[in-house]
Amino acid sequence: MNEEMNKQQEAEVKAEAPVETMEDYAAELEASYKAFDERHFELPETDDAEGEKWAEFAQMMADRTVLNVKIAEAVKGGVVAFVNEVRAFIPASQLSTEYVEKLEDWQGKHVDAVIITVDPEKKRLVLSGREVEKEKKAAQRKERLAQFKAGDVVEGTVDNIKDYGAFVKLADGIDGLLHISQISTQRIKHPGAVLKEGQTVKVKILSIADGKISLSMKALIEQETEEEEHETFDYKETAAATTGLGDLLKGLKQGAGMSVIPKTKDQVDQWRSVMFLYDSALKKLNTKIEILNNEFVNRYDHNPIEHIKSRLKTADSIVKKLKKDGYEVTIENMMDHLSDIAGIRIICSFTSDIYQIADMIAAQGDITVLHVKDYIQNPKPNGYKSYHMVVTVPVYLADGPVQTKVEIQIRSVAMDFWASLEHKIAYKFEGNAPEGLLRELKECADVVDMLDKKRFYFLHVINDKLFVTK
């Protein structure tokens, strides 16, 4: 993907900045020398000293020697300067990287230039100040570029929007390509659907190669999602959510999220109604899960669920998540694009119980499973194992049922302990824990996995009545 992004960026640069050659200012050069000859300037005859002088010019050109020359006069198509008493021509297009409006304004000024053409036979010496400026700017850009590295999270301004992505200005002379595939976790048809020129965005630097920077907003969204999946909530271990509508509204009155979510009485009423839906959905699912657990006990004489935790996302967390995902902070976007406003965590005794509980939930006629992330079969690199599912459950109101999203996380007791530990470490080090500590955390996850398997083994031993006590 990075290779594709770089090719697109290179094509864009080439289209906007065509490369100039001597042919582009050949007419200027000829016109200048013609005007020069018409004024009867006599060229000295070539002798050994003169030959050495032109040989020196050739060496200067090869060495890219920077010469500080004074502009003697403006002529047709450029300006004239002298190098070792030899007339030199600087075409208007080679005078500066900026557009030159009046050549006369340059008369008497000193310019840093390099030799780009040496023609002893025709006594023609051509200089370029533009090349020197380009090299200086390239060196300055390299210096500014050195302050960035892959993995950095930085702010920038959307400078230019294309069909394939957007160029984000990170510093003076430094921009990066935010490819369309890296803007959002959602599929978008055009970058303009999410971004606008002049907008300030937070991005993660994916890579820096050949002076080109590849950026991502999507990576930050995924990172935040991971953190939230491991978030330690202030749960109350009951079937009801800890955060009630009263608490939410109390928080709003104190200013949490009020700058962007509910501003008027109508908006507050709407916010209250929406959060009522999520609160009701949690209560309904908690009741269902408790009933399923009791049925499991009666049928198999085994309690698969150790405990259930529930939570509602805070207003501040909702606002932060919407902004990270690139959405305007509205109640409509909150309901459409966030699937973890209401969350339930089910802690099971054994890994095998996880899939049974998940199947029992999915089999409920009024529950629709939207999507599943099986981190048990496909663990995260850090060792995290859990089963995540997003469902909708109908909340029956006076006007009829409203399908409401709830995220369900199902994990073992041992993995719940590990996830709590991982969260504390991530919070302590602000997501930048030492590599050695991360390796130890991964080893701990492997031990947790082994413990889960051992627990499952002993369960079978107990059930088969093979357990021998001394």
Task: Please give the tally of structural domains in the chain.
Answer: 3
Do 276 and 404 lie in a common domain? yes
Examine the fold and report which residue of 216, 237, 257 is the final residue of a domain before the chain moves on.
216
Average pLDDT over residues 5-19: 48
Is 139 among the domain residues? no
Average pLDDT over residues 60-82: 92
Examine the fold and report which residue of 104, 131, 158 is the final residue of a domain before the chain moves on.
131
Measure the CA–CA gap between 83 and 110, rounded to whole angstroms.
12
Average pLDDT over residues 229-248: 41
pLDDT at 435 over 90: no
Given 407, 422, 430, 440, the catalytic residue: 407
Is 390 among the domain residues? yes
Do 287 and 428 lie in a common domain? yes
Average pLDDT over residues 118-122: 88
For residue 167, the enclosing domain spans 147-216
CB 170 within 8 A of CB 178: no
Do 339 and 362 lie in a common domain? yes
Taking CA atoms, 180 is separated from 12, 156, 205, 214, 393, in Å, by 15, 16, 15, 11, 33
Is 114 among the domain residues? yes
Residue for token digits 């996995």? 449
Is 11 among the domain residues? no
Is 137 among the domain residues? no
Is 355 among the domain residues? yes
pLDDT at 4 over 60: no
Measure the CA–CA gap between 52 and 54, rounded to whole angstroms.
5
Looking at residue 175, which CATH number applies to its domain? Answer: 2.40.50.140
Do 117 and 231 lie in a common domain? no
Looking at residue 389, which CATH number applies to its domain? Answer: 3.30.460.10
Q: Give tens-digit pLDDT for 252-284.
A: 333 333 334 444 556 667 778 888 899 999 999
Measure the CA–CA gap between 106 and 95, rounded to whole angstroms.
9
Among 124-133, 256-265, 364-373, 378-387, where is mean pLDDT lowest?
Answer: 256-265
Is 13 among the domain residues? no
For residue 284, give both structure tokens. Answer: 């309904």
Examine the fold and report which residue of 216, 233, 249 is the final residue of a domain before the chain moves on.
216
Do 275 and 372 lie in a common domain? yes
Is 163 among the domain residues? yes
Do 53 and 87 lie in a common domain? yes
407 classed as catalytic: yes
pLDDT at 232 over 50: no
For position 347, what pLDDT does the model report? 93
Pairing of β 368-374 and β 110-119: unpaired
Do 340 and 274 lie in a common domain? yes
Do 268 and 344 lie in a common domain? yes
Sign of the torsion formed by the C-alpha atoms of 284, 286, 291 and 295: positive
pLDDT at 15 over 70: no
Do 113 and 175 lie in a common domain? no
For residue 433, give both structure tokens. Answer: 């824990």
Q: What is the pTM of this model?
A: 0.46
For position 352, what pLDDT does the model report? 79
Do 212 and 265 lie in a common domain? no
Do 318 and 259 lie in a common domain? yes
Pairing of β 400-412 and β 387-397: antiparallel
Do 70 and 126 lie in a common domain? yes
